[in-house]
Chain A
Amino acid sequence: MASNPQTDPTLEALVAQKYRHGFVTDIESDTVPPGLDEDVITFISRKKGEPQFMLDWRLRSYRHWLTMKEPHWAHLRIQPIDYQSISYYSAPKPKADAPKSLEEVDPKLLETYDKLGIPLHERARLAGVAVDAVFDSVSVATTFKERLHKAGVIFCSFSEAVQKYPELVEKYLGSVVPYTDNYFATLNSAVFTDGSFVFVPKGVRCPMELSTYFRINAAKTGQFERTLIVAEEGSHVSYLEGCTAPMRDENQLHAAVVELIALEGAQIKYSTVQNWYPGDENGVGGIYNFVTKRGECRGANSKISWTQVETGSAITWKYPSCILTGDNSVGEFYSVAVANNYQQADTGTKMIHIGKNTRSTIVSKGISAGHGQNAYRGLVKVLPSAINARNFTQCDSLLMGDKCGAHTFPYMEVRTPTASVEHEATTSKIGDDQLFYCLSRGISEEDAVNMIVNGFCKAVFKELPMEFAVEAQNLLAVSLEGSVG
Chain B
Amino acid sequence: MSAVGAKSTASPIERYKAAFDARWQGNDELTALRRAALDQFLSTGFPTQRDEAWKYTNLRRLETRSFTPADASALDAHQPDWLTTAGTRIVLVNGHWLPALSSQTAQPPGVTVLTLKQWFQREPAAVAAYLKEHDQLTGNALEQLNLAFFEDGVVVNLADNAVLDAPIYIVHQSTTGAAGCMSHPRVMVRAGRNSRATIIEHYLGANEAEYFTNAVTRFEIAAGGAITHYRGQREAPRAFHIGHIQTKLAKDARYSIHDIQLGASLGRTGITAVLEGSGADAALFGLLTPMGTQHLDAHTRIDHIAPHTTSEEDYRGIAGGKGRGVFNGKIIVRPDAQKIDSRQSSRNLLLSPTAEIDTKPELEIYANDVKCSHGATTGQLDATALFYLRSRGLSESDARALLIRAFAESILSTIGLEPVRAALEKQIDERFKLANETKA
Residues of A within 8 A of B (CB): 73, 75, 384, 397, 399-429
Task: Give residues in B with beta carbon < 8 Å to A.
Answer: 52, 56, 335-336, 338, 348, 350-380
Nearest Cβ in chain B — how far from A238, in angstroms? 32
Docked-complex contact B353 and A405, CB < 8 angstroms? no
Q: Is the CB of A405 within 8 A of B364?
A: yes
Partner of A416 from the list B56, B350, B359 (CB cut-off 8 Å) is B350
| Residues A412 and B373 in contact, CB atoms below 8 Å apart | no
- 11 A–B pairs (Cβ distance < 8 Å), ordered by A: A73-B52, A384-B354, A399-B367, A402-B335, A412-B360, A416-B353, A417-B353, A419-B379, A425-B363, A428-B370, A429-B370
**Residues of the A chain whose Cβ atoms lie less than 8 Å from the Cβ of B361:** 408, 410, 423, 425
When distances are taken between beta carbons in the complex, the residues of chain A under 8 Å from B375 are 422-425
Which residues of the partner chain A approach B352 to less than 8 Å between Cβ atoms? 417
Instruction: Report chain B residues within 8 Å CB of A384.
Output: 353-354
Contact partner of B379 (CB less than 8 A), chosen from A402, A421, A424, is A421
A414 touches B348 (CB 8 A): yes
B residues less than 8 Å from A412 (CB atoms): 357-360, 376, 378
Tell me the bound Cα distance from A75 to B363 in angstroms: 12
Taking A412-B360, A417-B355 as known contacts, 8 extra A-B pairs with beta carbons closer than 8 A to each other, sorted by chain A number, are A404-B368, A407-B362, A410-B360, A411-B358, A412-B359, A413-B56, A427-B363, A428-B370
| Among candidates A403, A419, A426, A427, residue contacting B378 with C-beta atoms closer than 8 Å | A419
Most buried by A among B336, B348, B354, B373: B373
Minimal Cβ-Cβ distance residue in B for A417? B350
Contact partner, A399, options B354, B359, B365, Cβ 8 Å: B365
- A to B contact number (C-beta, < 8 Å): 115
List chain B residues, Cβ under 8 A from A417.
Answer: 350-353, 355, 380
Q: Which listed residue, B335, B364, B376, touches A403 by the CB 8 Å rule?
A: B335
Contact B378 A421 (CB under 8 A): yes
Q: Which of B351, B366, B373 contacts A405 (CB 8 A)?
A: B366
Question: In whole angstroms, how far apart are the Cα atoms of A93 and B374 in the complex?
Answer: 52
Chain A residues lying within 8 Å of B335, measured Cβ to Cβ, are: 402-403
Do A410 and B364 have beta carbons less than 8 Å apart? no
Asked whether A425 and B374 contact (CB < 8 A) given A397-B365, A405-B365, A411-B360, the answer is: yes
Contact status B336-A402, CB under 8 Å: yes
**Shortest distance in angstroms between B336's beta carbon and chain A's nearest beta carbon?**
7
Residue of A nearest to B319 (CB): A417
| A412 to B348 CA separation, bound complex (whole angstroms) | 11
Distance from B189 Cβ to chain A, minimum over Cβ atoms (Å): 32
B367 touching A402 by the CB < 8 A rule?
yes
What's the Cα separation between A75 and B375 when bound, in Å? 21
A402 to B307, CA, bound (A): 13
A409 to B53, CA, bound (A): 13
From A407, A410, A427, B373 is in contact (CB under 8 Å) with: A427
Evaluate contact between A425 and B365: CB separation under 8 angstroms: no
Among candidates A401, A410, A415, A428, residue contacting B356 with C-beta atoms closer than 8 Å:
A415
Flag if B376 contacts A423 (CB, 8 Å): yes
- With A421-B377, A422-B376, A427-B373 already in contact, the answer to whether A413 and B356 are too (CB < 8 A) is yes
CB distance from A362 to the nearest CB of B (A): 12
CB distance from B423 to the nearest CB of A (A): 29
Q: Give the distance in Å from the alpha carbon of A405 to the alpha carbon of B332 in the complex.
A: 11
Q: Return chain A residues, CB-CB under 8 Å to B350.
A: 414, 416-417, 419
- Residue of A at shortest CB range from B367? A402
Residue among B368, B369, B376 with max Cβ neighbours from chain A (10 Å): B368
Q: Contact: B354 with A407, CB < 8 Å?
A: no
Cross-chain contact A399 with B368 (CB below 8 angstroms): yes
Q: From residue A296, how far is it (CB to closest CB) to chain B in Å?
A: 23
The 10 closest A-B pairs by CB, nearest first: A399-B368, A417-B350, A408-B363, A423-B376, A414-B378, A420-B379, A427-B372, A424-B375, A421-B378, A426-B373
Contact B374 A401 (CB under 8 A): no
B377 touching A408 by the CB < 8 A rule?
no
User: In the complex, how many angstroms separate the beta carbon of A88 from the nearest chain B beta carbon?
Assistant: 31
Q: List the B side residues contacting A415 at CB < 8 Å.
A: 355-356
- Which A residues are CB-close (under 8 A) to B338? 402
Residues of chain A with a CB closer than 8 A to B378's CB: 412, 414, 419-421
Assuming A401-B368, A402-B368, A417-B380, is B374 touching A424 (CB within 8 A)? yes
Residue of A nearest to B325 (CB): A414
- How close is B409's CB to chain A, nearest CB, in angstroms? 20
Q: Which of B357, B376, B380 is in CB contact (< 8 Å) with A410?
A: B376
Give the distance in Å from the alpha carbon of A408 to the alpha carbon of B346 in the complex. Answer: 15
User: Chain A contacts of B380 at CB under 8 A?
Assistant: 417-420
Looking across the interface, which residue of chain B has its beta carbon closest to that of A390?
B379
Collect the chain B residues with CB atoms within 8 Å of residue A400's CB. 368
Question: What's the least CB distance linking A352 to chain B, in Å?
Answer: 14
